[in-house]
Chain A
């Protein structure tokens, strides 16, 4: 925030920017050179895909969150970029003979432009449509793109005999994209959104979201703003698509499916509409967590039923006996605080145990430092206030576990269930989409504005969490 309110000094401004630019590159290179080689291919792939999804979520946030145009076909821009860049490489890379990284830059720019044009095509109907209707038209656009690509196999139904591999896939042939490329794109996407919001232009975008008629009455050309938002969001998604094409080596029409678009929308909404931080975190987490579930051992059907029933009973109990009666009343709150400490320690221990086994020493170190930092701030500063809440949560978990065992035991006694289900097991990753769906519904019911609401990450807010007090606002009176 300081940039606007502090007296502006040109020399300091440029030196700060220069240093942060260098620091960004150094950081990304450091990760690429020192951390990535420590990981196995699977982990690299998962982390990179997480960055892709975060980029998509942040770029969609420009359209959905900042400008308020509910677009549900974002994966289409991604796939348009991927096909444009991928096709260019497949056809021309060998003939031109540029160094791969330079070529990648050209392909990214090309893909971003093509996706940007697609953004104009979709942005134009948005001038007349609002809300649900716009959602369904953008969704329709996504499907049209997918079906169009499906038919471009160089055959009879293809336009101009275009061959994009049809419903099978397009082979790019060059795996150029590295982890730091995607990281850089994510940083750029976040930086562009942040910059926009710090200026008067950003306010014009926000006013279009808040009230279109009032915005146009005070002279904001909402048409231009909406198209600009679509072009910006689409070209960033397109750039991500090009990187994906050169990361995955192949692109398929289903990379831009409706389900993929829904997932990106869900990330933005869960993170909090308009919150860049929320979109980035939700994008990364929602693509990592389902993969993490794969590491859990399979669970038997009867245990699963026990857990589900236990959860239902715990939720009903939590509704009957309100949280406040535990966390606020004097006697209970100290018990809850103690339980909260236990919860934090158990969590820290579990995290430590888990990382001991699989991940490289460097990452382990980073995680342990982070965990220690969080733990210390939780136990010794203002974070303490949330301890009774954690304790209450632990209590509920205890209820679930306590109920689960007798229920499972009873279920084992019922012959019909024992005969049919005792040998059936499920891996948590089989259930991950159903779990995702349930958490989506629950989050929307409990917190419709998304987890972060309109809030943003900032050092001052971070400081506030740990008891420091600093102002936080780009455009404020002071």
Chain B
């Protein structure tokens, strides 16, 4: 059974149809790419899946349950978490604190215990602090754990976003242009990290990326959007030779 499936998901803003009847399925453990030229509706697709927008029509199901129109925090609770194209960290919190926040939805102790600082909340906070430290090791940020996150260099901020999303213990991880602004060396490392995350943490990964080398080298399945419409769906070598895709990219080497 597929873990996430979109069926003719559509959203319009006034006269503009940003995403038009997009359908695709993700299987458990997929490394799935979502590509397309600028303005193709990729990020809007993410916003539909994570509940920022409600689709005008069509359905989105996650593990067999419809999730369209649920608030973002509910969707995160069900097991989908994302990163943002224009990095949205909690700027004045430390790197470690950013990741601990990700554990908030899994922790079990109530606000009352927090206000009175009972042993239960101390143990719980410590538990998620340890988890966050481990995750920081995964994205190799453990040496800057106490740095204020807005003081990090750009590439590290992107990795911190991934760690923060992983702290919510998702089954499906959505990465919005994770390699943007990174140099080739960093990109290679990131590819390794993403594969490692998929294999080690048993997560399904859906990612948006502009760097074709990155996508083709990493993803096992790809869906291509253009002007909100799905123009191709398949394995990388299939996508690479699809005439519609080549036309959409104006003959760029795909």
Residues of A within 8 A of B (CB): 3-4, 8, 10, 13, 192, 195-196, 198-204, 206-207, 210-211, 213-223, 228, 232, 454, 473, 475-478
Having A198-B125, A210-B90, A476-B146, one finds 6 other A-B pairs with CB under 8 Å, namely: A196-B115, A217-B82, A222-B73, A454-B92, A475-B96, A476-B96
What are 13 A-B contacts with C-beta separation under 8 Å?
Answer: A4-B129, A198-B125, A200-B101, A200-B104, A200-B124, A202-B114, A213-B88, A214-B90, A217-B76, A217-B84, A217-B165, A219-B102, A220-B101
List CB contacts (< 8 Å) of B5-30 with chain A: none
Q: CA of A219 to CA of B166 in the docked complex: distance in angstroms?
A: 12
Partner of B167, one of A198, A218, A222: A218
State the main secondary structure of chain B at its contact with A: helix
* B107-A200 in contact (CB<8A): yes
Residues of B within 8 A of A207 (CB): 90, 93, 101, 104
Chain B residue with the shortest CB-CB distance to A17: B117
For residue A224, give the distance in angstroms from its CB to the closest CB of chain B. 9
Cβ–Cβ < 8 Å partners of A475 in chain B: 94, 96-97, 100, 125, 129
Bound complex: CA A210 to CA B106 (Å): 20
Assembly CA distance A13 to B72 (angstroms): 38
Hey, which chain A residues are within 8 Å of B128, CB to CB? 200
Q: Tell me which residues across on chain A come within 8 A of B142, comparing CB atoms.
A: 477
Q: How many A-B residue pairs have CB under 8 A?
A: 139
Please state if A216 and B104 are interface contacts (CB–CB under 8 Å).
no
A211 vs B88: C-alpha distance when bound (angstroms): 7
Most buried by B among A213, A222, A228: A213
A218–B104 touching, CB < 8 Å: yes
State in angstroms the CA–CA spacing of A203 and B128 once bound together.
Answer: 12
**Which residue among B106, B126, B128, B145 has the maximum number of chain A CB atoms within 10 Å of its CB?**
B126
Give B67 Cβ to nearest chain A Cβ, in Å: 14
B71 at the interface (CB under 8 A from A): yes
Residues of A within 8 A of B103 (CB): 200
- Residues of chain A with a CB closer than 8 A to B84's CB: 214, 217
Main SS at interface, chain A? helix
Max chain A Cβ within 10 angstroms of own Cβ: one of B91, B102, B115, B165: B115
**What is the minimal beta-carbon distance from A464 to any residue of chain B, in angstroms?**
16
Is B125 touching A4 in the complex (CB atoms < 8 A)?
A: yes
**Interface pair B93/A218, CB less than 8 Å apart:** no
Residues of B close to A219: CB separation below 8 A: 73, 76-77, 81, 102, 104-106, 168
**Is B123 engaged at the interface, CB distance under 8 Å to the other chain?**
yes
Query: Is B219 part of the contact surface with A, judged by Cβ < 8 Å?
Result: no
| Chain A CB within 8 A of B89 CB | yes
Given contacts A220-B73, A475-B125, contact A195 B104 (CB under 8 A): no
Mark each residue of chain B from 19 to 63: 1 if its CB lies under 8 Å from any CB of chain A, else 0: 000000000000000000000000000000010100000000000
| B133 CB within 8 Å of chain A | yes
Residue of B nearest to A202 (CB): B114
**Hey, which chain A residues are within 8 Å of B76, CB to CB?**
216-219
- Give chain B residues whose Cβ lies under 8 Å from the Cβ of A203: 93, 97, 100-101, 104
**B116-133, CB under 8 A of A: which get 1 and which 0?**
110101111110110001
B119 with A210: CB separation less than 8 A: no
Cross-chain contact B72 with A199 (CB below 8 angstroms): no
A227: min CB distance to chain B, Å:
11
* 8 Å CB contact of B52 from A196, A213, A454: A213
Q: A201-B121, A214-B90, A220-B105 are in contact. Are A473 and B73 (CB under 8 A)?
A: no
- Report yes or no: A8 in contact with B93, Cβ–Cβ below 8 A: no
Q: How far is the CA of A4 from the CA of B107 in the complex (A)?
A: 16
Chain A: CB-nearest residue to B106: A219
| A206 and B90 within 8 A (CB) | yes
Contacts of B124 in A (CB 8 A): 199-200
Is B1 located at the chain interface by the 8 A CB criterion?
Answer: no
Q: CA separation between A218 and B51, bound complex, in Å?
A: 12
Contact A195 B117 (CB under 8 A): yes
Q: A200-B107, A200-B124 are in contact. Are A211 and B89 (CB under 8 A)?
A: yes
Which residues of chain A come closer than 8 Å to B123, judged between CB atoms? 8
Of all chain B residues, the one with the shortest Cβ separation from A9 is B119
Q: Are B126 and A4 in contact (CB under 8 A)?
A: yes
| Contact flag A214-B114 (CB < 8 Å), given A4-B122, A203-B97 | no
